[in-house]
């Protein structure tokens, strides 16, 4: 098959990472793959064998019209079997750009219950829904939210889980010692790790407030927050204002997440809202204990493992962190081994890629009038 993956950006983020990994897997399985990024910056590594086209769209009416026109021209010349949009802007634009294409499957994937959609974007989503063969979201909670918002209709939206390469996320005692040494930590220092863009959805102020309570009980505990984003300066200022600079480090964007997960004792997710965060799967694959807020598809991903905390409750989050750290779990704990095995069965990248190809083929046959029994 010839598959075009259209993404709003190709920066560092869970949705962009999923596009990258799916593109690599599709190519490995013998499909021709093109990634089209509507605007910058590009921060992902383009998989071998996969072509990337960047349109560098501008945020204006003229800019959007130009992007639609250029995308339409690229699609016509490339002749895809599937046009698969990722994230709200890419979904709307790819639907419009593919209108004139015959017998081309158009899929629109959202990755959260809230992708920053304004009322105007939601209206555009509704109006262009007719041009999409299927809309997906990353969890049942997110699908239900989209139905409630009338962003799509029953029968035209389904759950499509994200997947990860589990081979990249394996605990290593040697790596653990090396990374902890890099941060000046000894073997006994309780280390918490949070990973995600520094944006409102991740609710890092809640995590910082919670950790202020944690260090009153566990004074040696440390927290590393990985990520970049518009709230970077304000979060750093908050850490300094409450006197936690020696306990909390914001280390910016990193590419060594598997290594950092080996070094940590606990993964913490403090989000106010989510779709089905890949980083939870990465922690499960790393056999890393997890304390996370109960939002979006987090509970679905954990599937009974880990510790769930109410959203926006710093006291409960602090209690969950302290209780989990106090267990002093080792990485060969049978519970952590089983958590990894359970996640692998459901979310391996290869299995997810196979499901996508099956969906593409089923939608194509339906499009040309072949009914499946």
CB-based contact 92:348 (threshold 8 Å): no
CATH dotted code for 166-347? 3.40.50.2000
Residues of the chain with CATH 3.40.50.2000: 2-163+348-367, 166-347
Q: What is the pLDDT of residue 373?
A: 55
Across 258-293, b (16+ Cβ under 10 Å) vs e yields bbbbbbbbbbbbbbbbbbbbbbbbbbbbbbbbbbbb
Cα gap 251→256, rounded to integer Å: 12
CB-based contact 92:110 (threshold 8 Å): no
Query: Of 189, 174, 169, whose CA–CA distance to 339 is shortest?
Result: 169
Helix axis angle, 232-241 to 204-217, nearest 10°: 30
Instruction: Judge: domain 2-163+348-367, CATH 3.30.70.20.
Output: no
Q: What is the pLDDT of residue 114?
A: 72
In this structure, the number of other CB atoms found within 10 A of the CB of residue 138 comes to 28
pTM for the model:
0.86
- Residue 30, phi-psi category: left (phi > 0), alpha (psi -120 to 50), beta (remainder): left
User: DSSP secondary-structure letter at 168?
Assistant: G
Three-point CA angle 277, 281, 285, nearest 5° = 165
The tens place of each residue's pLDDT in the chain, 373 residues long, gives: 999 999 999 988 889 999 999 999 999 999 999 999 999 788 899 999 999 999 999 888 888 899 999 999 999 999 999 999 999 999 999 999 999 999 999 999 998 887 656 788 899 999 999 999 999 999 998 999 999 999 999 999 999 999 999 999 999 999 999 999 999 999 999 999 999 999 999 999 999 999 999 999 999 999 999 999 999 999 999 999 999 999 999 999 999 999 999 999 999 999 999 988 999 999 999 999 999 999 989 999 999 999 999 999 999 999 999 999 999 999 999 999 999 999 999 999 999 999 999 999 999 999 988 866 5
Cα gap 116→174, rounded to integer Å: 41
């Amino acid at each position: 098959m010839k598959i075009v993956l259209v993404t709003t950006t190709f920066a560092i983020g869970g949705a962009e990472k999923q596009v990258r990994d799916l593109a690599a897997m599709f190519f490995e399985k013998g499909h021709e793959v093109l990634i089209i990024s509507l605007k910058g910056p590009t921060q992902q590594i383009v998989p071998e064998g996969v072509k990337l086209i960047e349109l560098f769209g501008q945020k204006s009416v003229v800019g959007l019209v130009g992007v639609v026109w250029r995308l339409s021209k690229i699609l016509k010349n490339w002749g895809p079997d599937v046009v698969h949009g990722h994230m709200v802007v890419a979904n709307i634009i790819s639907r419009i750009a593919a209108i004139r294409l015959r017998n081309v499957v158009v899929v629109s994937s959202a990755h959260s219950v809230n992708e920053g959609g304004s009322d105007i974007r939601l209206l555009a989503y509704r109006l262009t829904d007719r041009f999409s063969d299927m809309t997906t979201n990353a969890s049942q909670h997110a699908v239900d939210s989209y139905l409630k918002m009338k962003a799509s209709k029953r029968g035209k939206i389904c759950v499509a889980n994200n997947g990860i390469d589990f081979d990249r996320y394996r605990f290593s005692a040697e790596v653990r010692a090396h990374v902890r040494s890099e941060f000046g930590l000894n073997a006994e220092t309780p280390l918490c790790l949070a990973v995600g863009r520094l944006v409102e959805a991740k609710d890092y102020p809640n995590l910082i407030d919670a950790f202020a309570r944690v260090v009153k009980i566990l004074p040696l505990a440390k927290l590393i927050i990985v990520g970049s984003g518009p709230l970077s300066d304000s979060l750093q200022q908050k850490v300094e204002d409450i006197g936690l600079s020696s306990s909390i480090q914001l280390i910016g964007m990193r590419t060594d997440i598997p290594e950092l997960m080996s070094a940590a004792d606990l993964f913490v997710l403090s989000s106010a809202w989510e779709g089905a965060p890949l980083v939870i799967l990465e922690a499960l694959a790393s056999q890393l204990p997890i304390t996370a807020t109960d939002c979006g598809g987090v509970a679905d991903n954990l599937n009974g493992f880990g510790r769930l905390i109410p959203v926006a409750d710093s006291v409960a989050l602090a209690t969950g962190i302290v209780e989990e750290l106090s267990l002093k779990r080792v990485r060969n704990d049978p519970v952590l081994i089983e958590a990894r095995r359970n996640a692998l069965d459901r979310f391996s990248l290869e299995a997810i890629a196979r499901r996508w190809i099956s969906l593409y083929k089923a939608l194509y046959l339906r499009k040309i009038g072949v009914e499946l029994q």
